[in-house]
Amino acid sequence: MEIVSGFAGTVVLTIGKIGHQLKYLYCYKDNIEQLQLIKDRLQNSVEVVKRKNEEVVVDVRNWLNDADVLLKIMKEFNGNNGQAKTGCSKWSCPNLWSRHQLSRKATKMMEAISKFLVGGKFEGISQPKDPQKLLALPMTEFKVYKSRESTFNQVVEALANPNVNMVGVYGLGSVGKSTLVDQVNKKVVEDQLFSVVVPVTVKQNQVLDKIQKKIAETLGFELGGENEILRARSLLARLKEEKSILVILDDLWEVLDLKKIGLPIGNDNKGCKVLLTSRNLDVLSTGMGCKSNFQLKVLSEGEPLELFKKMSELDDFDKNTELQPIATKIVELCGGLPISIVTVAGALRNKKELHHWKDALQRLRNNMGMEHVNASMRLSYDFLSPKLKLTFLLGAMIPNVSLNDLLKYGKGLAYSTDPTVWKVLELDYVRRLAS
């Protein structure tokens, strides 16, 4: 009787333990759902951070990766749990031993989940991007031609001079100033002359708050406040944190007050330097007070023809005696401006028929009243198909239009046979060229 009683007690105790651990199986689904919910919420927050161009902290990225792994294991375990619900061979009772084994695993996994959920509580999930990471932008292939090597080297040397805090580059429109400073940017980063380089395009209609926000964005912080003075103070304080920083203000059309922007220039902070570009030397020297100014001249000594041959992609150019004299005259009409040469060469790319080249030369001559760049752009436009012309004109009329919107507008207007539509678009295009 004692034996039976002892056995019964053991069975009751064992079943009691199993019952105690089986409760984890019932809570198991809830914990999977809880972990999935926390992970989804955190993932949504991460997507918001990425849209703000901020960097997700390493711990958050690691936690999300680990959560994916753990959820996969838990779901597989839940599937095995379903198999344990089957009857024990011939009887329709639960397989207690399988349940017991699974409940022990569930207990351990529940402990792991609890710790994991605690680890998913973060004080912050983002941090400003390292400004240097923003500098390694892919740039198109650019050759520093011999006629420009001296200008390139002089600009780099001036920026390396501790006694110079402002450097200017001036030259004709579309002569290649922006491309040159892009290369200077790349060079000073490679040589580690500056810890941070901030490139900003100013354009003709300069807006101070946009310039401030662009600088702040590159530095990886959000510039708050609607007051211009407060924004300048905030930006000034942030810039002073950098040991050596270069701010590139490209395409100045008029004098720009650097103090209103918040740039620590001169004795205020020798760690900050500014590189300016403009068509007008007076804007740099008289207006901005820049003493180290360098002129970027047009291509010379055979460089224009070399560039034209490369961009037109004609392998037999040197052997084609009919095309050579026409090409030489076309290049002369481009005025040594790289963008004009590239534009015309692109329009004539792979066109081997002589009449195309003669037509291009005549069109350039007819547009002699325009600037070299505008004449080459007009030629390139004339060589487009009707649908591409429409797309080009729409793009010229709508600043910063998205590609999707441009395609929608083009599709809608492409079916119009009304010549008025084309006339309005072309008049607007000509007006913009003249402005």
What is the domain partition of the chain in residue ranges? 2-127, 132-295, 303-434
Question: What CA–CA distance (Å, rounded) separates 413 from 406?
Answer: 11
Task: Calculate helix-pair angle for 58-83, 96-119, nearest 10 degrees.
Answer: 170
pLDDT tens by residue, the chain, 435 residues = 444 444 344 444 444 444 544 555 556 566 677 778 877 887 888 777 765 656 777 777 777 777 777 777 777 766 655 555 544 444 444 455 555 555 566 666 666 666 666 666 666 666 655 554 444 434 444 456 788 889 999 999 999 998 999 999 999 888 889 989 999 999 998 888 998 899 998 877 777 888 888 888 888 777 776 688 888 888 888 888 888 899 999 999 999 999 899 888 766 567 889 999 999 999 999 999 999 999 999 988 788 988 888 888 877 777 778 888 898 898 888 888 888 888 888 888 878 788 888 888 888 888 776 666 667 777 767 767 777 777 777 777 776 677 667 767 766 766 555 555 555 555 555 455 444
What residues have CB less than 8 Å from 255, skipping those under 6 apart? 283, 287, 288
Question: What CA–CA distance (Å, rounded) separates 4 from 11?
Answer: 10
What residues have CB less than 8 Å from 285, skipping those under 6 apart? 168, 291, 293
Q: Is 328 within 8 Å of 339 (Cβ atoms)?
A: no
Question: What CA–CA distance (Å, rounded) separates 159 from 263?
Answer: 16
- Name the helix (H) or strand (E) containing 428: helix 419-434
Question: What CA–CA distance (Å, rounded) separates 130 from 4?
Answer: 74
- Name the helix (H) or strand (E) containing 295: strand 292-295
Residue among 330, 431, 424, 343 at smallest CA distance from 382: 343
As beta bridge partners, residue 375 has: none
Q: Which residue has the tokens 């590239």?
A: 342
Residue 241: phi and psi, rounded to 5, are -75, -20
**Beta strands in 160-288, from DSSP E residues, in sequence order:** 166-170, 196-201, 245-252, 272-278
Question: What CA–CA distance (Å, rounded) separates 235 from 228?
Answer: 11
**CATH 3.40.50.300 is the classification of domain 132-295:** yes
Q: Is 199 within 8 Å of 248 (Cβ atoms)?
A: yes
